[in-house]
């Protein structure tokens, strides 16, 4: 058994990175009468610590969305190396969850408020996807996509803009969220039958990534000219011409932080 770390006598803040298969979950956030990732994580940690543990996520993911790098933080007393807690978490029943990183962070760190950006990726399969991949991508079936047109459209959307045309308001309090976001990256890459859309921004409105992807797919199908997506954005026009892409192709990749916000400052004892 690990020796307790000296000098740790109180609860500390932990930052965790979680990968999960979102297929069987109703998203990250706790909901009545529905299985969410958040409640599953809280139940698992509460069993380990034998007391209720509240977790705070870096953001919501929709039902069916997957994660490579969802972040959450919680406070607890654990007088052992963090890797032993990570192993204890992963030793429980899998339930489509895997903790990939766990570290101590400053007490004033907040995984959502301290974030300086987020990265997502969306997976598209040209044609009919194999059964073992179908739950992790959007398969086009008989439809074809012009990747070059999609790239042209993506380049017009970059920068600091009001993206209210690409958000959704239903039950998510979007009216209280600043719709101005810095879209730093929106790249369309193709390798064989796989098209991957990579995106990074200062933040995202509810369903913004899936609507951006939906617009790019419409352009790739030839149903919208590439410049139309920027026109909708600038006119702040919510339109059915820009559909919401299916959740199963979306992955939360990474939550970005200033490295200084993760560093615990050590206070040297003053000399007598």
In a 13 Å sphere around the CA of 94, the CA atoms on its Cβ side amount to: 6
Q: Token digits for 109?
A: 């760190």
Contacts within 8 Å (CB) and 24+ apart, 265-270: 265/106
Active site residue 21: no
- Selected catalytic residue, list 24, 54, 62, 182: 62
Positions marked catalytic: 62
């Amino acid at each position: 058994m690990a020796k307790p770390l000296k000098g740790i006598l109180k609860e500390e803040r932990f930052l965790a990175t979680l990968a999960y298969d979102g297929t069987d979950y109703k998203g990250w956030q706790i909901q009545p009468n529905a299985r969410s990732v958040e409640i599953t994580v809280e139940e698992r940690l509460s069993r380990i610590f034998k007391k209720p543990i509240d977790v705070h996520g870096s953001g919501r993911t929709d039902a069916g969305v997957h994660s490579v790098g969802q972040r959450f933080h919680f406070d607890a007393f654990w007088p052992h190396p963090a890797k032993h807690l990570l192993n204890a978490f992963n030793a429980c029943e899998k339930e489509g969850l895997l903790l990939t990183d766990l570290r101590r962070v400053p007490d004033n760190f907040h995984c959502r408020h301290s974030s300086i950006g987020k990265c997502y990726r969306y997976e598209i399969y040209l044609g009919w996807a194999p059964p073992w991949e179908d739950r992790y991508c959007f398969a086009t079936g008989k439809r074809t996509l012009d990747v070059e047109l999609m790239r042209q459209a993506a380049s017009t959307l970059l920068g600091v803009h009001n993206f209210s045309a690409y958000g959704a308001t239903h039950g998510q309090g979007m009216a209280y969220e600043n719709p101005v976001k810095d879209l730093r990256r929106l790249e369309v890459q193709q390798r064989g039958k796989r098209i991957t859309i990579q995106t990074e921004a200062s933040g995202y409105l509810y369903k913004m990534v899936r609507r951006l992807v939906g617009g790019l797919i419409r352009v790739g199908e030839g149903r919208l000219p590439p410049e139309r997506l920027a026109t909708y954005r600038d006119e702040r026009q919510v339109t059915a011409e820009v559909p919401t892409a299916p959740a199963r192709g979306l992955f939360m990749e990474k939550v970005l932080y200033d490295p200084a916000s993760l560093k615990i400052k050590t206070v040297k004892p003053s000399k007598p």
